[in-house]
Structure 1
Amino acid sequence: MSDGHSYTLSRTLDAPAATVHRAWTTPDAYARWAYAAPGSAEMDVRPGGAWKATMVTPDGTEVPLTGSYLDVHENRLLVVAMDVPGRADPSVMAVELDEDGPATRIELRQTCGTAEERDMAEQGSTMLMDSLTRFLAEGPTG
């Protein structure tokens, strides 16, 4: 699947892995940091389970997203498939967590179909990581 159109982002987050995992897998928490419309996120967090959310762009455009979980290891790994309109195969993103004392190293990897798709996905994922970092610094609840 790797054809040169992939990217990897990593950060060290000031939160334990369980807190980071909950931020990715709890609909209300996810909606607060991942630019999702309130109440739009639904998650069946298990291999084969479905997820959906309506993302809201900075200009207010709502973009419905759907997909499934391919692999789930609590507090360590999420492999998420996102449906891509007009394409038979989903886009796949892996989120790995590695706890280091009170902090967690997060690594996000994705392979895309084209360089343009990769650049757009990497830009969006960078925005998500920035927002997740702010969300965790605010002390998420739930």
Structure 2
Amino acid sequence: MADLTITRTFPFAPQLVWDAWTQPEHFAAWFGGDQVDVPAETLDYVAELGRSWKADMVLPDGTRIHWVGEFIEVDAPKHLRLTITDQPDSPERSHLIVDFAEVDGATEVTMTQSPIPEGAEEALLQGYGHFFDTLEAELGRMAAA
């Protein structure tokens, strides 16, 4: 199995980007992209060391995907590491390692998922690209509030 690393710069301060990743109402707004709903009643997401998290994604066709994981490292507003899987009954988990770096007033986010399933790289790149587009829109709403 391989790893996947994506880097993207958002034109917002690191604290705002951190908040979008770690505050449940903002995470739910972008996780899965703009075509997916994350119902509040399915979301248990508090970015604290050792805490488990869960969320359901409801796809446009009504299909539910159950996500679970655990926060492994939390160093606000610089670094987040959590486990993640959409197979809650399986003991196997991928790790998401997310680093936030201030670059000229913007935030460079470097996210690594390790491991990724064999042959999944292209689909993950496309999916995370859509997630990050939706994250950027949520950041715009947060900044305007």
Distance 1:129 1:101, change over 3 A: same
**Aligned-residue RMSD, C-alpha:** 2.1
CA distance in 2, matches of 1:80, 1:58: 27
CA distance in 2, matches of 1:141, 1:51: 28
Aligned position for 2:66: 64
Aligned position for 1:24: 21
Show structure 1 runs of 5+ residues with no match.
none
**1:123 match: secondary structure:** helix
Preserved CA contact (<8 Å) 1:93 1:109? yes
Preserved CA contact (<8 Å) 1:71 1:78? yes
Aligned position for 1:9: 6
**1:43 match: secondary structure:** coil
Distance 1:108 1:58, change over 3 A: farther
Preserved CA contact (<8 Å) 2:100 2:107? yes
Shift of 1:97: 0.2
**2:69 match: secondary structure:** strand
Q: Given the alignment, which residue of 42, 45, 54 partners 1:43?
A: 45
1:135 is the counterpart of 2:138: yes
CA distance in 2, matches of 1:115, 1:123: 16
Q: Given the alignment, which residue of 105, 117, 121 partners 1:102?
A: 105
CA deviations on 1:8-59 (whole Å, 9 max, x unpaired) are: 1111101111111111111111111114423132223122111111112243
Distance 1:120 1:135, change over 3 A: same
Aligned position for 1:88: 91
Preserved CA contact (<8 Å) 2:38 2:57? yes
Please give the TM-score of this superposition, normalised by the length of structure 1.
0.84
Structure 1 residue identity aligned to 2:123: M
**2:142 match: secondary structure:** coil
Structure 1 residue identity aligned to 2:50: G
Please give the TM-score of this superposition, normalised by the length of structure 2.
0.83
Shift of 1:141: 7.1
**Corresponding pairs, count:** 139
CA deviations on 1:80-138 (whole Å, 9 max, x unpaired) are: 10135264221111111001242100011112353234443333222211111122123
Identity of aligned residues (%): 25
Show structure 2 runs of 5+ residues with no match.
none
Aligned position for 2:118: 115
